[in-house]
């Protein structure tokens, strides 16, 4: 059950609902509704008289299983990472190497992506590698390099956390925690980042449905963390010419179903440097709130994922074209009104 509480409701209303839920042994958690009010998600229904309170706007018995992630009863979210707003009017660009290779290497990459217009720095200190013999990342030393790169450039840092017991350590250094595709359904890890106090970038599992992805987001939200950004990074397909298939259907679909911002990763989503630029632009055209892209000053020499890594100059070009595309599409959607019930009928307003 979802209860919506108005922005101007007395504080006693929320307190009474939580108390009634606790007395009945029903789990309850609140989250902002994006309009100044609060949504309370209850694991089981409360009797109607427990909800006859001032400021209770509505009680929804029917709702999606991902009740906190759902867009049914609230407006879109904006997730802030430092000064960067994800889900705001301008798409956000996160960029950097696949893996932190060393201090000087990372500083050079961070300066280069900042000069190319990136808003955030990415880079893995802990890497989920298919082979146990492949380079697994520098660990805490890599986290220290990320913090140094943030200090040098001012760019907030997003980096992956692999295990529940690593969350506190990674959260000390990083501005945003990344949950990788292979860990999307690692529920203990999701609960732990839900208690970390840091915004989370939740990558979609490469064989996960959109609903499974939203249920994973729900784990984080239900653990008390409202700051979740979804990341589409490609699905496993059958064609060996590409590493993964970037599922751009999932972008407008996730935004239709959920209030959470969505970003696109065209690097892992293609596995191929020559496809990254076009698919990055396609991601923005699909409505993404941002991009996360693997960039290295000398892409061919990148220690991890070189084949999909682009140069800072290519990143600058994606940014320039992406902002122009975004501006053109936003202008268009402002003066086009959709009418009918999905029949595709377009009507120009006035």
**Beta partners for residue 177, in sequence order:** 159, 200
- C-alpha pair distances (Å), 231 with each of 5, 18, 179, 289, 293: 30, 32, 10, 10, 12
Residue 261 CA to residue 290 CA, distance in Å, equals: 9
**138 is a site residue for ligand PEP (CB under 6 A):** no
Distance of closest approach, residue 203 Cβ to ligand PEP, in angstroms: 4
Residue found by looking up tokens 């990136």 in the block: 118
Q: Judged by CB, which is closer to Mn ion: 300, or 331?
A: 300
**98 is a site residue for Mn ion (CB under 5 A):** yes
Q: Which of Mn ion, ligand PEP, none does 180 bind, CB closer than 5 to 8 A by kind?
A: ligand PEP
**124 is a site residue for ligand PEP (CB under 6 A):** yes
Number of residues lying near ligand PEP (CB under 6 A): 9
- Asked whether the CA dihedral 282, 80, 214, 220 is positive or negative, the reply is positive
Tokens of 117: 């217009």
Q: Which of ligand PEP, Mn ion, none does 273 bind, CB closer than 5 to 8 A by kind?
A: none
Among 233, 243, 296, 319, binds ligand PEP (CB under 6 A): 233
Residues 93-112 that bind ligand PEP (CB under 6 A): 98
Report the helix count and the strand count for the chain, using DSSP H and E: 9, 16
**DSSP secondary-structure letter at 206?**
T
Q: Could you tell me if residue 224 is left (phi over 0), alpha (psi between -120 and 50 degrees) or otherwise beta? A: left
**231 is a site residue for Mn ion (CB under 5 A):** no
Q: Judged by CB, which is closer to ligand PEP: 103, or 182?
A: 182
Q: Judged by CB, which is closer to ligand PEP: 17, or 155?
A: 155
Binding site for ligand PEP (CB under 6 A): 98, 124, 128, 180-182, 203, 233, 268
């Amino acid at each position: 059950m979802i209860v919506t509480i108005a922005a101007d409701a007395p504080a006693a209303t929320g307190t009474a609902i939580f108390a009634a839920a606790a007395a009945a042994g029903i789990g309850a958690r609140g989250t902002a509704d994006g309009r100044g009010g609060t949504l309370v998600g209850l694991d089981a229904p409360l009797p109607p008289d427990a909800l006859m309170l001032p400021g209770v706007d509505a009680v929804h018995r029917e709702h999606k299983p991902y009740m906190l992630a759902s867009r049914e009863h609230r407006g879109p979210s904006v997730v802030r990472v430092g000064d960067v707003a994800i889900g705001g009017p301008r798409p956000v660009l996160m960029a950097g190497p696949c893996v932190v290779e060393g201090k000087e290497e990372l500083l050079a990459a961070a300066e280069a992506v900042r000069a190319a217009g990136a808003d955030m720095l990415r880079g893995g200190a802990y890497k989920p590698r298919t082979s146990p013999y492949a380079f697994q990342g520098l660990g805490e030393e890599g986290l220290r390099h990320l913090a140094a790169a943030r200090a040098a450039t001012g760019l907030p840092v997003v980096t992956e956390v692999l295990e529940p017991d690593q969350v506190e350590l990674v959260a000390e250094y990083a501005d945003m925690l990344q949950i990788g595709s292979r860990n999307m359904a690692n529920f203990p890890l999701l609960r732990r980042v839900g208690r970390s106090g840091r915004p989370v970038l939740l990558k979609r599992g490469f064989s996960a449905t959109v609903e499974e992805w939203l249920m994973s987001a729900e784990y984080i939200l239900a653990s008390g963390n409202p700051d979740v950004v979804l990341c589409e990074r490609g699905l496993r397909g059958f064609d060996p010419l590409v590493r993964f298939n970037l599922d751009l259907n999932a972008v407008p679909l996730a935004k239709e179903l959920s209030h959470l911002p969505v970003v696109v990763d065209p690097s892992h989503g293609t596995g191929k440097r020559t496809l990254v630029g076009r698919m990055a632009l396609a991601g923005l055209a699909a409505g993404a709130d941002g991009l996360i892209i693997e960039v290295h000053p000398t892409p061919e020499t990148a220690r991890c994922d070189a084949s999909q890594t682009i140069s800072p100059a290519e990143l600058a070009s994606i940014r320039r074209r992406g902002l122009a595309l975004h501006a053109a599409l936003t202008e268009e959607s402002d003066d086009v009104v959709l009418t009918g019930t999905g029949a595709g009928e377009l009507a120009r307003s006035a």
